Amino acid sequence: MMNALRFDGTTLAVEQQQIPEDADECVIRVVRSGICNTDLEIVSGYAGFTGTIGHEFSGIVDSSPGRPELVGRRVVGEINVGCGNCKVCSTGDERHCPNRTVLGIKGRDGAHAEYLTLPARNLSEIPANVSDDEAVFAEPLAAAYGITEQVTIDNDSKVAVIGDGKLGILCIRSFSGLPGELVLIGKHAEKLELGKKSGAEGVHYSDTAKLAGRFDVVVEVSGSESGFAAAVDMVRPRGKIVLKSTFHGRPSWEAWRVVVDEITIVGSRCGRFGPALELLAAGKVDVKDLISERFDLSDGVKAIETAGRGGVMKVLLNNN
C-alpha cells in the first residue's frame, strides 16, 4: 500500500491506495512533487477531476516493461498520454490527442503519491547535475519555454509578461537573453525583484498605462480578465498576445481592438521537457529561490492549504 493525496470532488485527504501496477507502463517511485495552481483549482472544483492530484514530479523508475534499462534511473515525465492510434498521435505529439489522459488532471492518477505510472515514451532522464528539487520544475519550465514553439522571440523583440507568480517568473527566466526588452508586470515588489535577477524590468501593475502599444509579444500569466485587458492595451498593432493561464467565467473584452489592430491571440499550454532540462542542466534557469516550503506527503492537505496563501511560491512534497 502507499499514501496518495486524493480529491473526491468534495474532500481532499491523504489516503491509502494500492501501489499501481501496469503491464504496459513504467512504475515510478516519486521522490519529489510540486504543488501548482492547477492543483489548487482542481480542489476548488475545476474540471471535475477526482483521484490523485499532482503532475510535477521527479522520481526513480521502479519497473519498466520492455525498457529494463530505465529501472533505477531518475526521471521526469511528460504529463499528456495519448491514445497512440489517432491522427494527432501519429505526428509524435500527444499533447492534443482528443482521447488523452493527463497526469493528475484528466483521467489519470497523479504525482502526489508514493508511486505513479507513465509510458516509457513519456519519460526523460534527469541530468546528473540537476537535483530532484530542480527537476520538479521541468514541467512548469517546459510550459513557460514552450511559448517559443508558437511565437518567435528574438533579439529585436520587446516582450512583457503579465503576472509575477511562479509561472510568470519562469517565463521571464526562460526568455532571459532572447529578447531585446523584457518586462515583468505584477503587484508584489518581492516577486518583481525575482524577475529583475534575470534582467527583466519590473513594473507595478498600476503603472502599465505608460506601456501602451509598446510590445511585440505580451504573455498573460495572471489568469485574470484585467490581465487580458492590460495585454490588449500593451501589445502593438499586429503584435501577439499569448494566453498562458485560464480564468473562469465568460470574459468580456473589446474584440474590435483585436480586429482593428490585427492582434494575434495564441493559447499556450504544455511544452517539451527536453529544452527545459537543458536549461536546468546548463544553469541558465535558477529555480531554487522559488521554493517556499516543504512538507512530507503525509501532510499533503496542509501543504495544499499553504500553497494557496498569498505570497507563497512553490511548495514541495517529499517522499524520502
Query: Residue ranges per domain, the chain?
Result: 2-142+271-318, 147-267
Region 70-94: mean pLDDT is 94
The grid coordinates listed for 194 are 525575482
Does the pLDDT value for residue 289 go beyond 80? yes
Q: What is the DSSP string of the chain?
A: -EEEEEE-SS-EEEEEEPPP--SSSEEEEEEEEEE-HHHHHHTTTGGG--EE---EEEEEEEE-TT-GGGTT-EEEE-SEE--SSSHHHHTT-GGG-TT-EEETTBEE--SSBSEEEE-GGGEEEPPTTS-HHHHTTHHHHHHHHTHHHHS---TT-EEEEE--SHHHHHHHHHHTTSSSEEEEEES-HHHHHHHHTTTPEEEEGGGGGGGTT-EEEEEE-S-SHHHHHHHHHHEEEEEEEEE-S--SS-----HHHHHHTT-EEEE-----HHHHHHHHHTT-S--GGGEEEEEEGGGHHHHHHHHTSTT--EEEEE--
Region 11-40: mean pLDDT is 95
Q: How confident is the model at residue 177 (pLDDT cuts 50, 70, 90)?
A: confident
Phi, psi (degrees; rounded to nearest 5) at 181: -140, 135
Fold of the CATH domain 2-142+271-318 = Quinone Oxidoreductase; Chain A, domain 1 (3.90.180)
> How would you classify the pairing of strands 26-35 and 51-52?
unpaired
Fold of the CATH domain 147-267 = Rossmann fold (3.40.50)
Over residues 98-129, the pLDDT tens digits come to 999 999 999 999 999 999 999 999 999 999 99
Over residues 58-74, the pLDDT tens digits come to 999 999 998 999 999 99
Q: What pTM did the predictor assign?
A: 0.93
* Of residues 89 and 250, more confidently modeled: 89
> Quick one: pLDDT at residue 249?
62
Residues in Cβ contact with 284 at an 8 Å cutoff, skipping those fewer than 6 apart: 176, 177
The grid coordinates listed for 143 are 510550459
Contact 92, 82 (CB under 8 A): no
Region 29-55: mean pLDDT is 93
> Quick one: pLDDT at residue 199?
87
* Of residues 178 and 246, more confidently modeled: 178
